Chain A
Amino acid sequence: MGELLLRMEGISKAFPGVQALKDVSLNVYAGEAMALLGENGAGKSTLMKVMTGIYTRDEGTITYGGREVAFRNSRDAAEQGISIIHQELNLIPHMKIYENIFLGREIKNGRGGLNKKAMIARTRELLDSINVSLDPEREIKGLSIAMQQMVEIAKALSLDARIIIMDEPTGALPDEEVDSLFRIVRDLKQKGKGIVYITHRLKEVFEICERATVFRDGQYIDEVPVSELDNEKLVSMMVGRKLTDQFPYVDPLDTDETILQVENLSNEYVKDISFVLKKGHILGVAGLAGAGRTELAKTIYGVYPHETGKIRLKGSDVEIRNPNDAIGKGIFYVSEDRKGDGVILGSDVKTNMTISSLSKFTSGTRINKKKENEVCEQYRKDLNVRTPSLRQLVRNLSGGNQQKVVIAKALMSEPDVLILDEPTRGIDVGAKKEIYILANRLKQEGKAILLISSEMPEVLGISDEILVMHEGRIKGTLTREEATQEKIMSIIMSQS
């Protein structure tokens, strides 16, 4: 066992309405890679942000280099030897490799200007030390993802990193480049660095990691040497959780009426997608981050064009060129990124609710504000949106109430098909349940719902049928009765 470099103990972190981490621990050992495992939302990224000072912890201690530490920010952490390599790389495309490596801490010459020579030479040394032959004066633009990762690693080394955190480093990497990444990781371990390796691909854990720490729902489950693990044991550690009343289920409508039918849909993001969505049913879509679920939704919604395939609504072929088209034809997409493209934060509740259905309130050119108010008031009561008034800015509402505003917006357009993409992301447990009950009610009222979620218990809890997506394809379909987390995971893992 390597020397203990860093120890996190009893870490807790809460966000408004969400307990993201509860009493979790993590150890990082010199010369070893520690896998950090858990489903989406288990708290892995939050823990890494706590470690590197992006978030401040509510409770717990971090011991590093023999003393308790609290980094002010990720730069502070990096300067003290803890570097994080994010999934979305933080390099500036139009700048050269050496410029990126020394960004913000450039080597200067005697007159206060840049000492390019020294920076280039040092960059070459760093790249050589990990056996990467790249010209330090090349621009980042045009480098493969793997090569960009090497630059990030070189940057970490330039800061004399002792611990390097890799957040899903193979997520965007073509298979043939994975080997060269692993070579570097082994090399770093040999140099005595401690690695924290976050991944969804279990086979990589067996290939490159010495130990694994497993998380579930923000809680620490266990730290185990990889030699004592197998695939099955890992999966059950990751998902072993019971479904409770948190997921109320109601039977679907007793009808076979197809509302939405997708046939062989393909484009840049999704391949050969076919499925049927029935009236009064909830069809769940499970998969890992990056499986192409959101892209599928946005393709149906007309955001992305499709190259081949057909979309049929209530039996007739439809051409959907943009969201406006989709809404007009009875499809509404509730976005996964509520703050980013779901709500208009700087506008009030009423404006957000009616933006998709203004024509219903308009006679001639004029919006009938009285009628608008009445309808919004009705939706506010109906969906139990907790806001002091309809004029309140959406920015000031909680996540759960923001989501209800978005759903109100969707329902006002009177859709037949409702696509809910991560409808409960980042909202508290109570509000989640309200959303499930609402989805069930809509289902009973005859809406057809496509439910995309990374939270497996959620998909399992309220879907009538489940599609499992991976790498842009549907890898399997499970009925409610046969679906379990283990089955979904094994479908996903089977071909990757």
Chain B
Amino acid sequence: MNTKKLSEIWAKYRPVLIMIVFIIVAECLSRKFLTVNNIMNVLNQTSMNAILALALTTVILTGGIDISVGSTLAFSGAAAAWLLRAGHSTVLAVIVALVIGVAIGTLNGIFISRWNLQPMIVTLATMSIFRGTTYLLTTGSPISVSNPAFKMIGGGKLFGTIQVPIIILLVLAVIMHYVLNNTPFGRHIYSIGGNEEAAYLSGVNTKNVKAAAYAISGLLASVVGIIMTSRLSSAQPLAGQSYEMDAIAAAVIGGTSLRGGQGKVVFSIVGALIIGMLNNILTLLDVSTYYQTVIKGIVILIAVMIDAKSN
């Protein structure tokens, strides 16, 4: 009876429980881990990957994938920097960057839903295309940004302690959680990932819903592009390269099924936090980044093994 209850809790909150165990172990390994400063630091560093994990989760829930987010964030960030350098306002730069993100996402969505092309291939192509346009726009070297208002987005703090990106992440997480769990659109996303044909026959406009999922993914990627450009005070031609992989890893560690239809955005953020804390504790312990990469891979494997076993 008690074990049954425990196993139910384990099944329901697995990623959170793993994170708690992780925190306890990390704290035992280093006394510097559980300090306000360090936690804020982890959250701040994780915020970009966590937002991308929101993007990827939305798309993966439909049974798709979006590996173009790294290029999308680079191009929209570069566009913002380019506008700022030309003397335009922060508001305009942000809006244009967001519009670019939505546009790239919609483009992905149209190719995938209307033309029935495979998401992996389409986003592989747009990944290349928009990395290329980023090179063209930046002419291969960083565009630096000096606008103080813009720099607040990535570097500012609220109440002197909480970095703005953490706030942005929280707001986006709440919105995405609401959208996916409380609106018809969210139900439609899950139903497409669960059984696209059944969803279609049940009257779900599968094409539009899928396209919208990619548009959301593009939008979220451009938010990350803005944060990164602001934080670095410059747009880098190579910004965000291979970030999609960490975002996919976060979603998977959070229990999102790559087959679609199963997962929760909140848990994907937990997945991103686990990756972030892992990097953090290894750094605190002076483990070289080379080992960190190896260990991250092993953690992903363990996560999917636990997942496969539990299902």
A residues with a Cβ closer than 8 A to B are 301, 303, 322-324, 326-328, 333, 335, 340-347, 351, 354-356, 358-359, 362, 365-367, 369, 409, 413
Complex Cα gap A363–B188 (Å): 16
B261 in contact with A324 (CB, 8 Å): no
B187 touches A344 (CB 8 A): no
Q: Are B191 and A324 neighbours in the complex by a CB distance under 8 Å?
A: no
State A347–B261 Cα separation when bound (angstroms).
8
A365 neighbours in B (Cβ, 8 Å): 179, 182-183, 185
Chain B residue contacts of A409, Cβ below 8 A: 202
Does B195 sit at the interface, judged by CB under 8 A?
Answer: yes
Cross-interface CB contact of A359 among B182, B184, B195, B197, cutoff 8 Å:
B184
Q: Which residues of B contact A359 (CB under 8 A)?
A: 184
Distance to closest chain B CB from A22 (angstroms): 33
Find chain B residues with CB under 8 A from A345 CB. Answer: 194-195
CB distance from A348 to the nearest CB of B (A): 10
Which residue of A is nearest B207, CB measured?
A322
Residue of B at shortest CB range from A355?
B202
Contacts of A346 in B (CB 8 A): 194-195, 261-262
A-B contacts, CB under 8 A, total: 77
Are the CB atoms of A344 and B194 closer together than 8 Å? yes
* B298 in the interface (beta carbon within 8 A): no
Q: Are B195 and A323 in contact (CB under 8 A)?
A: no
**B188 proximity list for chain A (CB < 8 A):** 355
Q: Which 7 pairs across A and B sit closest by C-beta, in order of nearness?
A: A344-B194, A341-B197, A358-B184, A327-B203, A324-B203, A344-B195, A356-B202
Task: Check A344–B261 contact: CB distance below 8 A.
Answer: yes
Cα distance A340–B194 when bound, in Å?
Answer: 11
Chain A residues within 8 Å of B185, by CB: 365
How many whole Å from B149's CB to the nearest CB in chain A?
32
Q: Take A341-B195, A347-B191 as given contacts and tell me if A367 and B183 are in contact as well, using a CB distance cutoff of 8 Å.
A: yes
A155 to chain B, nearest CB (A): 31
Residue among A335, A343, A358, A413 with the highest chain B CB neighbour number at 10 A: A358
A338 and chain B: residue at smallest CB distance = B198
Q: Contacting B201 at CB < 8 Å: which of A328, A341, A362? A: A341
> Could you say which of B190, B197, B205 contacts A324, with CB atoms under 8 Å apart?
B205
**Which size class do B's interface residues fall under?**
20 to 34
Contacts of A301 in B (CB 8 A): 201
B202 and A323 form a contact (CB under 8 A): yes
Q: How far is A365 from B194 in the complex, measured between Cα atoms in Å?
A: 22
**A326 CA / B202 CA spacing, docked (Å):** 10
**CB closest chain-B residue, reference A344:** B194
Q: Does A340 contact B184, Cβ atoms closer than 8 Å?
A: no
Given contacts A344-B198, A367-B184, 8 further A-B pairs with CB under 8 A are A326-B203, A344-B194, A346-B262, A347-B190, A355-B202, A358-B187, A359-B184, A369-B182
Classify the secondary structure of B's interface with A. Answer: helix
Q: Does B199 contact A (CB under 8 A)?
A: yes
User: Whole-angstrom distance from the CB of A141 to the nearest CB of chain B?
Assistant: 20
Check if B184 sits within 8 Å of A342, measured CB to CB: no
Contact of B197 among A322, A340, A347 (CB under 8 A): A340
Q: Chain B residues near A323: list those with CB within 8 A.
A: 200-203
Q: Jot down 13 A-B pairs with beta carbons below 8 A, ordered by A.
A: A322-B200, A324-B203, A327-B203, A342-B201, A343-B198, A344-B261, A351-B187, A355-B202, A355-B203, A356-B202, A359-B184, A367-B187, A409-B202
B residues touching A (Cβ–Cβ < 8 Å)?
A: 179, 182-185, 187-188, 190-191, 194-195, 197-205, 261-262
Complex Cα–Cα for A409 and B184 (A): 15
A340: B residues at CB distance < 8 A: 197-198
CA distance A361 to B29 in the complex (A): 51
- B187 lies within 8 A of A355 (CB): yes
- Separation of A328 and B197 alpha carbons in the complex (Å): 18
> Which residues of chain A come closer than 8 Å to B202, judged between CB atoms?
323, 327, 355-356, 409
B191:A344 contact, CB within 8 angstroms? yes
Say yes or no: A362 contacts B184, CB within 8 Å.
Answer: yes
Please give, as numbers and ranges, the residues of chain A lying within 8 Å of B201 by CB-CB distance: 301, 303, 323, 333, 335, 341-342
The residue of chain A having its C-beta at the shortest distance from the C-beta of B200 within the complex is: A323
B198 near A366 with CB under 8 A, answer no
Alpha-carbon distance A340/B199, docked complex (angstroms)? 11
- Contacting pair A362 B183 (CB below 8 A): yes
Q: Which chain A residues lie closer than 8 Å to B198 at the CB level?
A: 335, 340-344
Give, as a whole number of angstroms, the nearest-CB distance from A491 to chain B: 30
A345→B197 CA distance, assembly (Å): 12
A347–B262 CA distance with the chains assembled, in angstroms: 9
Report chain B residues within 8 Å CB of A303.
Answer: 200-201
Q: Tell whether, in the assembled complex, residue B203 and residue A413 are in contact, meaning their CB atoms are under 8 Å apart.
A: yes
* Chain B residues, Cβ within 8 Å of A326: 203
**What is the CA–CA distance of A481 and B221 in the complex, to the nearest angstrom?**
66
Task: Give chain B nearest CB distance to A55 CB in angstroms.
Answer: 26
The CA-CA distance from A343 to B199 in the complex, in Å, is 8
Given contacts A345-B195, A355-B191, contact A366 B200 (CB under 8 A): no
Q: How far is the CA of A356 from the CA of B202 in the complex (A)?
A: 5
Measured CB to CB, the closest approach of chain B to A408, in angstroms, equals 12
Is B182's CB under 8 angstroms from A367's CB? yes
Question: How many angstroms from the CA of A303 to the CA of B200 in the assembled complex?
Answer: 9
Chain A residues whose CB sits within 8 angstroms of the CB of B187 once the complex forms? 351, 354-355, 358, 367
Bound Cα distance from A355 to B202, whole angstroms: 7
Min CB gap B195→A, angstroms: 4
Q: Which residues of A contact B205 (CB under 8 A)?
A: 322, 324
Contact: B195 with A351, CB < 8 Å? no
Q: Which of A323, A359, A362, A409 has the most CB of B within 10 A?
A: A323
Task: For residue B185, give the distance in angstroms from its CB to the closest CB of chain A.
Answer: 8
Smallest beta-carbon distance A270→chain B, Å: 18
- Nearest B residue (CB) for A324: B203
